[in-house]
């Protein structure tokens, strides 16, 4: 429900409200300022309300350009997470929505760029029309003033100039075109589909942010949009003198005879973005320094279906469950860093990742490791620990497809804590659900489940973990094979004791079974998977929770890995 969301995400809601509020305030304040301020009376005579649209969107563009780099300063976020370790975990967890905020700001930049560009296209057209007009109107007269000096109002000084010429030869025009192209490329190449399938394209295109910021800083330097100077305002105020401009005779003697003079609006984008750029430079220096620290690859395991497991050690490396690292292999590409969820438990003396062949870089890494052991650089770990799992007597863990990876770390860690009779572990029972189109790609996870199954049986705790595997995509050959071997002790698809179920889970039945088995427990439901599944599970948590506080309660937690 909305109420529950606000309780769990009040910090995110507050940040969102503040961000929206500041954007609305900046836009409204500067729109009204440029639409009413007397200094821009003559500018408005030529441009009309397009002036206010262009300037108000420019202010909001500066504000959002200031914010866009902050959510991707990973080490800054880790530092903040560390300093607020005494805060409630829900607050720390909100910092993991950094990329969501980054995308939100990026979409705002795209929208504001469209507004700013369209407004300036109108402005250029109006400047051009005013320059070519010979009707003696106020815009026509203003366009002919001070053409030789530096006190002009209309940047188009000749009748031969076209809008396209201004757009591609002036500093604001050219940088505007370049910034807009860079932004379009960055936004379009960061869609989910491209990130998943062509990560390299996303990675390299995103480095156009260097072009974007360089262009942004230079963009306003020429000051093509101008206002009347303070001195000129004192001498010939537009409210008194504007009417005389269009009807002056040669031997003019009164106080409004002098032509108004104009000056440019100082460039200020650099003031907005300087601090975040400095922070980001420090962030990159820190990443380079951390990457130089030696990583020892202690074990390389090649699992079926081209999944590579790397077990590594690094001095001072300290992880928690549910965290991730960035990995670079200089032999393949010195610039590319790829994120991977950690699959080891903090209790182990190494940290591990499982790399599935899913793109050029991963393919080349797997091929390289089959021939030799190249040097690996690691940055991290990042992300908030998923320790909530340990706070529930009963935990229902749901992993869908690649979303099963974080549960490797969680299941191992729970088992270690359980064996060591760890006091922080309240968990007495785990239900694990794995939904998968084809188990082949995750055969390594079968191995992990099999070893856990064996360890639990040996220590007489076989009932601690109940897992159910759902194969959501299969063909007739698999179905026939299952029918033939239905009576065997282990499953024909996974080789595990628990049988694979074909099709999707009937969540109402699963929740009813858990509620019946644990009538007085608080059950934590954890998902790492798609949004549609999150909605189904949330609904079930609501339906199957008893209104009686002494009876079963289901709490839904969606992890952001």
299-337 pLDDT, tens digit each:
999 988 788 999 999 998 999 888 889 999 999 998 889
495 or 421, greater pLDDT: 421
Provide the percentage of residues in the chain whose pLDDT is more than 90: 47
What Å distances lie between residue 341 and 196, 248, 351, 404, 443, CA to CA? 15, 76, 10, 10, 17
Residue 493: what pLDDT? 45
Tell me if the bond preceding 451 is cis, omega within 30° of 0.
no
Structure pTM? 0.82
DSSP code per residue over 472-511: -S--HHHHHHHHHTTTSSS-TTT--SSPEEES---HHHHH
Taking residues 350-356, what's their average pLDDT?
93
Residue 329: what pLDDT? 95
Please tell me the distance from the alpha carbon of residue 547 to that of residue 550, in angstroms, as a whole number. Answer: 9
Q: Beta partners for 396?
A: 431, 525
Residue 549: what pLDDT? 78
Residue 3: what pLDDT? 57
pLDDT digits (tens, 9 = 90+) for 405-419: 888 898 888 888 878
Residue 89 — very low, low, confident or very high, per pLDDT cuts 50/70/90? low
Residue 546: what pLDDT? 83
Taking residues 24-44, what's their average pLDDT?
96
- Is residue 432's pLDDT more than 70? yes
Residue 84: what pLDDT? 64
- Is residue 497's pLDDT more than 80? no
- Is residue 137's pLDDT more than 70? yes
Laid out side by side, the sheet with 338-341 consists of 338-341, 324-328, 377-382
Angle, alpha carbons 237-127-268 (nearest 5°)? 70
Write the burial class of residue 253 (CB in 10 Å: 0-12 exposed, 13-18 middle, 19+ buried).
exposed
- Is residue 189's pLDDT more than 70? yes
225 or 383, greater pLDDT: 225
pLDDT digits (tens, 9 = 90+) for 440-489: 766 778 788 888 888 888 877 778 888 888 888 755 544 544 444 444 44
Is the distance from CB of 425 to CB of 417 less than 8 angstroms?
Answer: yes
Residue 6 — very low, low, confident or very high, per pLDDT cuts 50/70/90? low
Least confident of 78-87, 378-387, 510-519: 78-87
Q: Which domains does the chain have, with CATH numbers?
A: 16-170+222-246+261-286 (no CATH), 293-382 (2.40.30.10), 385-476+490-558 (3.40.50.80)
- Which one-letter DSSP state was computed for residue 147? S
Provide the percentage of residues in the chain whose pLDDT is more than 70: 89
Average pLDDT of every residue of the chain: 86
What 3-state DSSP class applies to 430?
strand
List the structure tokens of 449. Answer: 């489940």
- Is residue 171's pLDDT more than 80? yes
For residue 434, give the nearest of 505, 532, 515 by alpha carbon. Answer: 505
Please tell me the distance from the alpha carbon of residue 244 to that of residue 44, in angstroms, as a whole number. Answer: 17
Taking residues 527-539, what's their average pLDDT?
87
Residue 222: what pLDDT? 84
Taking residues 3-13, what's their average pLDDT?
66
Residue with tokens 């002009």: 152
What 3-state DSSP class applies to 348?
coil
Taking residues 70-99, what's their average pLDDT?
76
Taking residues 278-293, what's their average pLDDT?
90
Is the distance from CB of 365 to CB of 331 less than 8 angstroms?
Answer: no
């Amino acid at each position: 429900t909305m109420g529950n969301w606000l309780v769990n995400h009040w910090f995110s809601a507050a940040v969102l409200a503040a961000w929206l509020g500041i954007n609305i305030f900046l836009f409204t304040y500067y729109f009204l300022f440029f639409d009413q301020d007397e200094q821009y009376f003559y500018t408005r005579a030529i441009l009309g309300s397009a002036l206010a649209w262009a300037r108000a969107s420019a202010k909001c563009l500066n504000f959002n350009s200031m914010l866009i780099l902050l959510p991707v300063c990973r080490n800054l976020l880790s530092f903040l997470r560390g300093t607020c370790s005494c805060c409630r975990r829900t607050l720390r967890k909100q910092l993991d929505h950094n990329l969501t905020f980054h995308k939100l700001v990026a979409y705002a930049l795209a929208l504001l760029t469209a507004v700013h560009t369209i407004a300036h296209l109108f402005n250029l057209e109006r400047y051009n029309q005013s320059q070519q007009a010979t009707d003696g109107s106020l815009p026509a007269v203003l366009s002919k003033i001070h053409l030789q000096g530096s006190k002009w109002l209309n940047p188009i000084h000749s009748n031969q100039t076209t809008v396209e010429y201004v757009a591609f030869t002036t500093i604001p025009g050219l940088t505007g075109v370049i910034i807009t192209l860079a932004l379009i490329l960055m936004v379009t190449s960061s869609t989910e589909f491209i990130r998943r399938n062509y990560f390299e394209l996303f990675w390299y295109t995103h480095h156009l942010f260097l072009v974007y910021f360089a262009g942004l800083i230079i963009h306003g330097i020429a000051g093509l949009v101008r206002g009347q100077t303070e001195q000129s305002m004192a001498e010939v105020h537009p409210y008194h003198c504007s009417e005389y401009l269009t009807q002056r005779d040669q031997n003019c003697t009164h106080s409004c005879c002098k032509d108004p003079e104009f000056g440019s609006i100082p460039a200020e984008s650099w003031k907005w973005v300087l601090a975040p750029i400095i922070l980001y430079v420090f962030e990159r220096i820190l990443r380079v320094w951390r990457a130089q620290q030696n990583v020892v690859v202690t074990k390389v395991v090649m699992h079926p279906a081209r999944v590579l497991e790397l077990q590594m050690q690094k001095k001072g490396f300290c992880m928690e469950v549910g965290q991730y690292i960035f990995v670079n292999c200089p032999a393949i590409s010195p610039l590319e860093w790829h994120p991977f969820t950690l699959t080891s438990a903090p209790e182990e003396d190494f940290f591990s990742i499982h790399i599935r062949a899913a793109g050029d870089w991963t393919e080349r890494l797997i091929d390289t490791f089959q021939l030799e052991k190249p040097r690996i650089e690691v940055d991290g770990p990042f992300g908030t620990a998923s320790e909530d799992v340990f706070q529930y007597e009963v935990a229902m863990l749901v992993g869908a497809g690649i979303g099963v990876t974080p549960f490797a770390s969680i299941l191992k860690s729970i088992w270690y804590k359980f064996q060591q009779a760890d006091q922080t572990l309240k968990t007495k029972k785990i239900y694990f659900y794995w939904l998968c189109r084809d188990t082949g790609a995750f055969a390594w996870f079968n191995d992990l489940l099999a070893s856990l199954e064996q360890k639990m049986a040996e220590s007489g705790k076989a009932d601690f973990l109940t897992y159910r595997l759902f194969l959501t995509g299969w063909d007739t050959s698999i179905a026939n094979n299952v029918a033939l071997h239905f009576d065997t002790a282990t499953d024909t698809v996974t080789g595990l004791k628990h049988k694979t179920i074909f099709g999707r889970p009937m969540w109402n039945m699963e929740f009813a079974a858990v509620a019946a088995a644990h009538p007085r427990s608080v059950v934590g439901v954890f998902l790492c998977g798609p949004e549609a599944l999150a909605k189904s599970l949330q609904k079930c948590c609501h339906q199957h929770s008893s209104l009686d506080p002494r009876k079963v309660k289901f709490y839904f937690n969606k992890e952001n890995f």
